Chain A
Amino acid sequence: MSELLDARGLSCPQPVLLTLEKLRSLSQGELVVLVDTDTSRENVIRAAASLGWQAKEVQAEGTDYRLTLKKA
């Protein structure tokens, strides 16, 4: 079961920092992150990759994005 992090409405770099904290606490598995800007989408994916997490799926939902991050 995926964990969910809603980082919508937060200004940079807070979505990235919240995501990193969550990823560290999970170590592995799946995390869904909701963001609402292109910049946050790219920055979260990049930061997650630096910890070995991959963006398994990126879904546009209206003006928001649903990022599914995964680490085996």
Chain B
Amino acid sequence: MSIFGFLKRKKTAPKTEDTALDQGLLVFSSTSEVIRAEVLLQKAGVSVKVMGPPPEIQSGCDLVIVFPINRQKEVLQILTRQQLRPLEVVPVSGPLMKPVDLFRVKDFGRYLMVRAANMKLTVDKETRVIVNISGGGCPDVPFLAAQLVGCSLDQAPRPRDLGHTLCGYALELALQEMERQCWRW
């Protein structure tokens, strides 16, 4: 099973986020292509988000990129210049085409856990210190945990700078979502 394989088992529409019909999905054959495309498009100033594929999409890997469909021509030019070609470009045309949110948030009282794909990050809400990192299965997860556990959110090193695997990428997503959740405290 692929590293994000569990998404295949839980293809439900997101409960809290409506997907506008003016969005499109970029489907790639591998998650490494998704990560490359995300970086390229963000650098080019295109607003994108990595999510899980909707139930209707049967091809590609376990991640898709959501992008503004009115910028499709520009997006494809950016990707093509870097020899990145999506398997499909699909407009979000209805409920079954809604991408799946990668994040799950669980409140343990004093602690808050964010799961992004296959990685879990838990923070002490009172101190904002990272108390646990788990999940994955990649060889760099113990190293990432050793670097981040005990650090405050403000001072924690970025997993994207430390890790070189999909787990590192998922942990970076979890940290970003945790930082977003922090604004509510």
| Contacts from A to B (Cβ < 8 Å) | 12-14, 16-17, 20-21, 39, 42-43, 46-47, 49-50
Contacts and interface: CB of A to CB of B under 8 A. Distances in A.
A70 B50 CA distance: 43
24 contacts: A12-B120, A13-B108, A13-B113, A13-B120, A13-B122, A13-B132, A13-B134, A14-B108, A16-B131, A16-B132, A17-B110, A17-B111, A17-B122, A20-B131, A39-B134, A42-B142, A42-B145, A43-B132, A43-B134, A46-B145, A46-B146, A46-B149, A47-B132, A47-B149
B147 to A, nearest CB: 11
| Main DSSP-derived SS at the A contact region | helix
A43 B149 CA distance: 9
A22 to B, nearest CB: 13
A16 B149 CA distance: 11
Contacts, number: 43
Contacts of B149: 46-47, 50
B60 interface: no
B14 interface: no
Given A12-B120, A46-B145, 12 more contacts: A13-B111, A13-B120, A17-B111, A20-B124, A20-B131, A21-B110, A39-B134, A43-B133, A46-B146, A46-B149, A49-B150, A50-B131
